[in-house]
Amino acid sequence: MHREPESASTKEHRTVTRVTTILETVAASEGGARLRDLVGVLDAPKSSVYGLVQGLAAVGYLEERDGVYRLGPAVAMLLSPNRSALTAAARPVLERLRDRFDETVTLAVRVGYSTVYLDSVESNRLIRYSAPLRRRRPLYPTSGGKCLLAFMPPSLRGGYLAGLASGEERTAIEDELAEIRRTGVAYNRGETLPDVAAAAAIVQLGERPVAAVACAGPLNRMADQLGLVGEEVLTAAKDIAHRLA
């Protein structure tokens, strides 16, 4: 049986080395690192480093605020198996909301241009919605993803929408997102899966969105009470925020 030489399997790859160096430098920098710091550490062209950090930010491994790069949510949400303070605070609220409607309740966060379910409390019914945890899903049109998208920084939201839709379709989505920012609640009526409906609400600490809580189930059970579900998920989101404060 043919085997690759050990030296070949452990050979350093320049792009991988640059990416890991960026992450390690940002992690070790108290308060984050600026682009010029990373350029200096890597001794690489500014355009090349900028492309790498933008790519890492797009998938949630870095976050940029006012020109400073810090580790993004993907590091903890996708790589760490440990239960976070967020999931610990939210769990009893999710269970209470599940018991209220006996439908599946989820807690989601934004990771770059994706949404990731951190926790789920499933319905006791035989036919129910089941959500995969710690896997990337589209922000739009999931109900939780809509909430997270609506409360994204405008420049990031614009970049996402530019690749999603154009013309009248984009205008309709932007109007929907504006309504979500006004009410704090998003709905999905068979847009992701034809037979599933959901309502979600944004969890905010002050002005900072940290997660979305959603209740989802078969469309034929959810349709007539979706407005009530929306009111209850909004209450649940405020309760989670209170527990985190």
Which residues form the domain of 25? 6-71
Q: Are residues 125 and 34 in the same domain?
A: no
- Any idea which of 4-13, 63-72, 165-174, 206-215 has the lowest mean pLDDT? 4-13
Q: Are residues 97 and 202 in the same domain?
A: yes
pTM above 0.75, yes or no: no
Q: Are residues 19 and 94 in the same domain?
A: no
Is residue 76 situated within a structural domain? no
Q: Are 121 and 105 in contact (CB under 8 A)?
A: yes
Q: Are residues 113 and 223 in the same domain?
A: yes
Using alpha carbons, list the distances in angstroms from residue 71 to 25, 75, 113, 139, 205: 10, 7, 15, 20, 19
CATH code of the domain in which 108 resides: 3.30.450.40
Q: Are residues 89 and 167 in the same domain?
A: yes
pLDDT in tens, 17-32: 888 889 888 888 888 8
Is residue 32 situated within a structural domain? yes
Could you give the CA distance from residue 216 to residue 229 in angstroms, rounded to a whole number?
Answer: 9
Is residue 78 situated within a structural domain? no
Q: Into how many domains does the chain fold?
A: 2
Q: Are residues 51 and 107 in the same domain?
A: no
Name which residue leads in pLDDT, 10 or 214: 214
